[in-house]
Amino acid sequence: MQINFVTVDVFTDQQFGGNPLAVVLDAEGLNTTQMQAIAAEFNLAETTFVLQPTDMGNTAEVRIFTPKSEMPFAGHPNVGTAYVLASSGTSYGRKLSEPFVFEERAGLVRIDLTRKDGQVTGATLATPQSLKTGRAVPVEIVAEACSISIDDIEISNHAPVVASCGAPFVMAEVKTKASLVSASPRSEIFSRHLPMDLATGIYLYWQGTGNPFDIECRMFAPLFGIPEDPATGSANAAMIGLLAQLRSEDDIELCKSILQGAQINRPSVMHAEARKKPGSDTVLRIGGNCVPVSEGRITLVGQVTG
- How far is Cα 69 from Cα 119, in angstroms, rounded to an integer? 34
Sort 55 into a burial class: Cβ within 10 Å, 0-12 / 13-18 / 19+: exposed
* Residues whose CB is less than 8 angstroms from the CB of residue 7 and which lie 6 or more positions away in sequence, other chains included: 20, 21, 22, 23, 44, 292, 293, 294, 295
- How far is Cα 23 from Cα 48, in angstroms, rounded to an integer? 5
- How far is Cα 139 from Cα 137, in angstroms, rounded to an integer? 6
117-172, pLDDT tens digit by residue? 999 999 999 999 999 999 999 999 999 999 999 999 999 999 999 999 999 999 99
Short-list 200, 75, 70, CA closest to 126:
75
14-48, pLDDT tens digit by residue? 999 999 999 999 999 999 999 999 999 999 999 99
| Mean pLDDT of each 10-residue bin along the chain, 306 residues long | 95 97 96 97 97 97 97 97 96 96 98 96 97 96 98 97 97 97 98 96 89 93 97 97 91 94 97 90 95 96 63
- How far is Cα 75 from Cα 269, in angstroms, rounded to an integer? 13
Contact (Cβ atoms closer than 8 angstroms) between residue 253 and residue 285? no
Strand pairing category for 46-51 and 60-65: antiparallel
Ordered by where they begin, the domains of the chain are: 2-127+290-299 (3.10.310.10), 132-286 (3.10.310.10)
List active site positions: 46
Give the phi and the psi of residue 178 in degrees, each rounded to 5: -60, -40
pTM for this entry: 0.94
